[in-house]
Amino acid sequence: MTHDQPCPSEEPHVFTTVRYDPALLHSAENTEASCHRPCPFYMLEHHWTRLQVAKWNTSMAGSGPSQLLQGLLHGVKQWHAKNPGKEMHSLRCKHRVYPDGHTTSEIAPTPSLSMEDLFPRTLGKIEGGTDEVDWVVYIDPDSCEVSASTMYKTWDRFFYDRARKSTGITHLYDKKEVLLYNTDSEILDASISTPYFFRDGRWVTPAAACGGQQGTTRRWSLEQRLCEEAVVKKESMRNGEIIWLSNAVRGYYRARFVEHLNED
């Protein structure tokens, strides 16, 4: 399989997408995950770490967490100035960092969430009905080659975009997700979230060695021992099984695996 090159008009950059919510200022868990300072951005320190790792591997200059915080706050302030009267307490902030050091923020409203959705104490037992599960998860029809584009959050989203398109996911807010796997049939990631699977009596997330991104909520989940790293083969997936997903805007939420696209 050959990997198409990113569009020449797309200026190289690294990015992270983070939830803004003033309620996070009062969360002890978020303070701990944000350089031990009250912060309105979800797990700020892990976002800074993600950007640093991506920069080191794409020859981009580094910056401190305070610069990231100021850049995000500036973006939120600009959004509120352009949208006067909109009392949106929660925002989705896509923050890009370019080789020359300049940054941009793309901001949009996002639904409110409870602190339990953002900082679960456990992923719980696998037992339970599926009637309360709104999300469905598919698996990419094709494997992907492990590379910088699968391991770091950069402008090159070829495999992630292809996986979403191949499973008919057309909108960011569709309650649908797709799992990606490498040429050894090992699940490495999901297109916009970290996946968690119940295997051998415990919750696991794909091992870093499988080639996926080390997302912010993934780091937190491992730190809190909500899960362990493991190799999960795509052949082990069973139609209808319940998995967990997490990302830095939606927090943690359950989904049902659907083996065939026409079964949901």
Q: Which of 100-104, 177-181, 193-197, 224-228 has the lowest mean pLDDT?
A: 100-104
Q: If you average pLDDT over residues 206-235, what whole number do you get?
A: 96
- The token pair that represents 112 in the structure block: 């409110």
Query: Is 57 a residue whose pLDDT tops 70?
Result: no
- The token pair that represents 14 in the structure block: 């690294």
User: Does 3 map to a domain?
Assistant: no
Query: Is 183 a residue whose pLDDT tops 60?
Result: yes
CATH of the domain at 37: 3.30.470
3-state helix/strand/coil string of the chain: CCCCCCCCCCCCCEEEEEEECHHHHHCHHHHHCCCCCCCCECCHHHHHHHHHHHHHCCCCCCCCHHHHHHHHHHHHHHHHHHCCCCCCCCEEEEEEECCCCCEEEEEEECCCCCHHHHCCCCCCCCCCCCCCCCEEEEECCCCCCCCHHHHCCECCCHHHHHHHHHCCCCCCCCCEEEEEECCCCEEEEECCCEEEEEECCEEEEECHHHCCCCCHHHHHHHHCCCCEEECCEHHHCCCCCEEEEEECCCEEEEEEECCCHHHC
Range of the domain at 55: 14-112
User: Does 91 map to a domain?
Assistant: yes
Confidence of residue 131 (pLDDT cuts 50, 70, 90): low
CA 242 – CA 120 distance, rounded (Å):
17
User: Does 130 map to a domain?
Assistant: no
User: Does 230 map to a domain?
Assistant: yes
Query: For residue range 143-169, what is the model confidence (pLDDT) as tens digits?
Result: 999 998 899 888 899 999 999 999 999
What pLDDT sits at residue 50? Answer: 84
CATH of the domain at 236: 3.20.10.10
CA 145 – CA 202 distance, rounded (Å):
28
Task: Please indicate, yes or no, whether residues 170 and 231 belong to a single structural domain of this protein.
Answer: yes
What pLDDT sits at residue 58? Answer: 53
User: Does 5 map to a domain?
Assistant: no
Q: If you average pLDDT over residues 85-112, what whole number do you get?
A: 88
- Position with higher pLDDT, 59 vs 8: 59
Task: Please indicate, yes or no, whether residues 98 and 148 belong to a single structural domain of this protein.
Answer: no
Query: Is 244 a residue whose pLDDT tops 90?
Result: yes
Task: Please indicate, yes or no, whether residues 170 and 239 belong to a single structural domain of this protein.
Answer: yes
User: How many CA atoms lie less than 13 Å away from 167 in the CB half-sphere?
Assistant: 30
How many domains are contained in the chain? Answer: 2
Query: Is 207 a residue whose pLDDT tops 60?
Result: yes
Task: Please indicate, yes or no, whether residues 83 and 28 belong to a single structural domain of this protein.
Answer: yes
User: Does 99 map to a domain?
Assistant: yes
What pLDDT sits at residue 21? Answer: 96
Query: For residue range 21-56, what is the model confidence (pLDDT) as tens digits?
Result: 999 999 999 999 999 999 999 999 999 988 887 665
- Position with higher pLDDT, 172 vs 192: 192
Task: Please indicate, yes or no, whether residues 157 and 78 belong to a single structural domain of this protein.
Answer: no
User: Does 104 map to a domain?
Assistant: yes
Task: Please indicate, yes or no, whether residues 158 and 257 belong to a single structural domain of this protein.
Answer: yes
Query: Among 44, 79, 112, which residue terminates a domain?
Result: 112
Query: Is 116 a residue whose pLDDT tops 90?
Result: yes
Task: Please indicate, yes or no, whether residues 145 and 255 belong to a single structural domain of this protein.
Answer: yes
